[in-house]
Structure 1
Amino acid sequence: MKALKVIVIGGGPAGLMAAGQAAEAGADTLLLEKMKRTGLKLSITGKGRCNITNIADISDFISHFGKTGPFLRQTFARFFNTDLMTFFNELGLKLVTERGGRVFPASGKAPDVWRVLLQWNKKSGVSINHSASVEKILIHNERVTGVVSQGREISCDAVILATGGASYPSTGSTGDGYRLCEAAGHTIIPVRQALVPLETYGDEAKKMAGLNLRNVNTRMFVSGKKKREQFGEIVFTEFGLTGPSILTLSGEAVDSLRNGHKVAFSIDLKPALDEKKLDARLQRDIDSRGKEQIGSLLRGLIPREMVPVCLDLTRICGEHPASGISAKERVRLRTWLKDFRLEVSGCRPFAEAIITSGGADIREIDPMTMESRKTKGLFIAGELLDIQADTGGYNLQAAFSTGWLSGRSAAQITTLPKKNTSKKPKKDGFS
């Protein structure tokens, strides 16, 4: 029986996984990558360390995707975190599990993940064409017949679209896949930044740029109402805020801003103390260190970089003796320590977003196979789909899992005779 011909568009995590799986399942597989090499974004993900997955159980895992999570249940039932870890171990990539269940390559080097995937693809028989952008997916009678790449038609039985989103465009994720999806009849949910640093009004953040706060509680308010909160780490920057907690909350913040709402973050610098205990702590410090200046006393409560900002916002003179602080000033200080507010003015560009929110509407994708419900033989995987999760390895697992399922499914589709619409058949590009 003649092998099916499968074309994978995009050489990121989903594309590399899909191509290798399709080839191992017996398909004659061609991967088309628009850049000079595959895996550019994969090589820089996770601050260069590549958080490939998380050891959370499936229910917890899915909860990190919000309302789109249930779509992935069937995919994860076929290929999940333990399967991915076994897959990499068998390829010779050692892994380590760190705080929060995050799984990384033991080397701490993201390029190692790309290298083993590339070697596996080549060993599996995948043909890879670099600098090969795709202008069009050829469709006849609602069925894929091939693609047009660099002006040349290449026929095939199935196409796996895994071009990534619009984040980090310098790595090749420039949104081409959305155009190809839409041309194939798919609805594209509006694309916006996610897991992205946020900009804030005022110069408070700028004054503390570089300061990293751990173990603080961050609450997000939308039009004055508390929506979500996140305990963990935040980082102040020249433009505003970043860090794991901020990135986790950023997607909803961006959507709220787009809808015309005001967004503010309230930072609780002393989450282990309620207001009564914090007030008692302040009083003890004042009683024991009353002769010191208030600014000096504050350095025992908050990082040095925060002291000028605190004094400015609470309208307290830092040069006065701590024993001279008034009851009203103590209330303002206590309130600020539990509720330091920064209003969000916007978000950073796609070039700084870790992932993209929005994309191909998952209601038009079969979760059992990742095949399009609009076009037979078209499969969509990875960040191109409208599925987004928190930081922690969840998004890469989704890319690998949807890539795995689409590759396996594409290699097993039932083909029908296709009408050749080209006047002159051209070389198909397969090895």
Structure 2
Amino acid sequence: MSEQVIVIGGGPAGMMAAYTAASGGDAVILCEKNEKLGKKLYITGKGRCNLTNFCDQETFLKNVVHHPRFLYSSISRFDREDLMDFITRYGCRLKVERGQRVFPESDKSSDIIKAFRRALESAGVEVRLNTPVTSIVTRENEAVGVKLADGTVLEGDKIIAATGGLSYRSTGSDGWGLDAAEKLGHRVSPCRPSLVGLKTKETWPAQVQGLALKNVDVTLTHKGKKVRTERGEMLLTHFGVSGPLILTDSAYMDDAPETYRLILDLKPALSDQTLDQRIQRELKANDRKQVVHALASLLPKKLMPIMLDLAGVDRTKTANQITKTERRAIVDALKRQPLQISDFLDINTAIVTSGGVNIKEIDPKTMASKRIRHLYFAGEMIDVDGLTGGFNIQIAATTGFVAGTRSE
């Protein structure tokens, strides 16, 4: 028997939920407050849309930072191959790049959205754009419909909320759905930005803003204890630091940002001793030059004078004047440069929101609310988030698929 399903939100989670429900024989209305579907998808992956990651399920779950166990059941029912097959079936060819990241062959996120739109159309979903929902209508702990901004009430047998988190508000992720869930009695874990740049107490990164550092080690510490170390690329900015390593570190920061510190190793391939020997060779070979020029080959040109200042070494000294103690200070500055985190960059710049509807109040096999009958959640609203690389869109599609599947 066909049910009336109402989906709130036209992102990847909402579109997948609507398609799945309609494909199962239900009558589906998708309410999207924006003028078009998939608005946030347009800007993901710098406009290319990193759809998913072509890794196995074990690797996928390792890249889910918060509550991967919640996804055990759902990812086995709709994984990266299912999502790729779905998008390809509706006319968008895909390719796999470095790090197993999956992109549209055209490098245009709009092609992913077009595939979703074709799928919705083929399944008979009624898409209502410019249709903001103002409340979820309940009766005796049961969701029975939604109220629209114009006062209209749409009745439904099943309501799926997929309104996103708090990042990129211009795309519609303004937290309305989380507030609605809370008003209905759900616990909502505090939301914070994730996969976001970090502000630092130190101001020296601003002196070289825009400088990308490759093959550096960044160690994240929390109250003096090491959280993680990873080698890769980072970016020095006017506010502090960003880039791939930093975005990943931000995902692991569950306490107040100021309780975290970064330690940069600008020469991770060299031990302290080897680096000291290299410095000695450079100083000897350029003994009449100022130290800032004598050691120029060690770092990008603009960074060396800053590191000497941080090491407490007079950059105008000639190479033959540098003492053993000063050499050690330079080694320390290059191998263990601390940066005190002061804050996250604004949540509106974050790739994803960490936090959301508490997973203990959602059935992981159906995405159904445990508090309100016939109400389901999908996507970024749920307190589950992953690293960069296509994992968050996959989480959205997977939870959307499960939410849209009719429960037996």
Q: Aligned AA for 1:310?
A: M
2: CA distance, partners of 1:198 / 1:22: 40
* Local SS of the residue matching 1:300: helix
Q: Write out per-residue CA displacement over residues 169-198 of structure 1, whole angstroms, 9 at most, x where no aligned residue.
A: 111000011112122321101111111111
Deviations 1:281-323 (A, max 9, x none): 2222223333332112332011112122112111222233323
Taking only the aligned residue pairs, the percentage that are identical comes to 40
Give the number of aligned pairs.
Answer: 407
- Match of 2:170? 170
Q: Which structure 2 segments of 5+ residues have no match?
A: none
Q: 2:358 aligns with which of 357, 361, 373?
A: 361
**Cα deviation, residue 119, structure 1:** 2.0
Q: 2: distance between equivalents of 1:297 and 1:80? A: 54
In 1: Cα distance, 2:214 partner to 2:20 partner: 41
Partner in structure 1 of residue 139 of structure 2: 140
CA contact (8 A) 1:16 1:121 kept: yes
* 2:42 pairs with 1:43: yes
Q: Which moved more, 1:58-67 or 1:243-252?
A: 58-67
User: 2:375: which partner in 1?
Assistant: 378
The separation in 1 between residues aligned to 2:5 and 2:309, in whole angstroms, is 63
**Per-residue displacement from partner, 1:70-113 (whole Å, max 9, x unpaired)?**
11011100001121112222222122212211111122222221
Residue-by-residue CA offset, 1:128-150 (whole Å, 9 max, x unaligned): 11121111112223222111112
Give CA-to-partner distance per residue, 1:194-235, whole Å, 9 cap, x none: 111111113211001000111111001222222222221110
Question: Where does residue 314 of structure 2 map in the other structure?
Answer: 317
Please name the residue that 2:116 is paired with: 117
Q: 1:227, 1:30 → 2: CA distance? A: 45
Question: What is the CA-CA distance between 1:67 and the residue it aligns to?
Answer: 4.5
Give the C-alpha shift of residue 413 in structure 1: 4.2
Separation in structure 1 between the aligned mates of residue 84 and residue 320 of structure 2, nearest angstrom: 59
CA distance in 2, matches of 1:34, 1:351: 18
Q: TM-score, normalised by structure 1?
A: 0.91
Aligned to 2:219: 219
SS in 1 for 2:252: helix
1: CA distance, partners of 2:52 / 2:294:
43
> Could you give the per-residue CA deviations for residues 224-263 of structure 1, whole angstroms, max 9, x where no partner exists?
222222221110111111111111111333x3226xx532
Corresponding residue of 1:184: 184
TM-score (norm 2): 0.96
Aligned to 1:107: 106
SS at match of 2:369: coil
Are the counterparts in 1 of residues 73 and 365 from structure 2 also a CA contact under 8 Å? Answer: yes
Equivalent residue of 2:106, what SS?
Answer: coil
1:30 maps onto 2:37 in alignment = no
Cα distance in 1, alignment partners of residues 352 and 123 from structure 2: 29
Matching residue of 1:291: 288
Q: Which residue of 2 aligns with 1:418?
A: none
> What are the residue-to-residue correspondences of 1:231-270 with 2, within 5 Å?
231-253=231-253, 255-257=254-256, 262-270=259-267
**Which stretches in structure 1 are left out of the alignment for 5+ residues?**
415-431
For the 8 Å contact 2:30–2:126, the answer to whether it is kept is: yes
| Residue 52 in structure 1 maps to residue 45 in structure 2 | no
Q: State the Cα RMSD in Å.
A: 1.5
DSSP 3-state at the match of 1:256: coil
Structure 2 CA distance for aligned equivalents of residues 31 and 126 of structure 1: 7
Mapped contact 2:34–2:131 kept (Cα < 8 A): yes
- Match of residue 201 from structure 2: 201
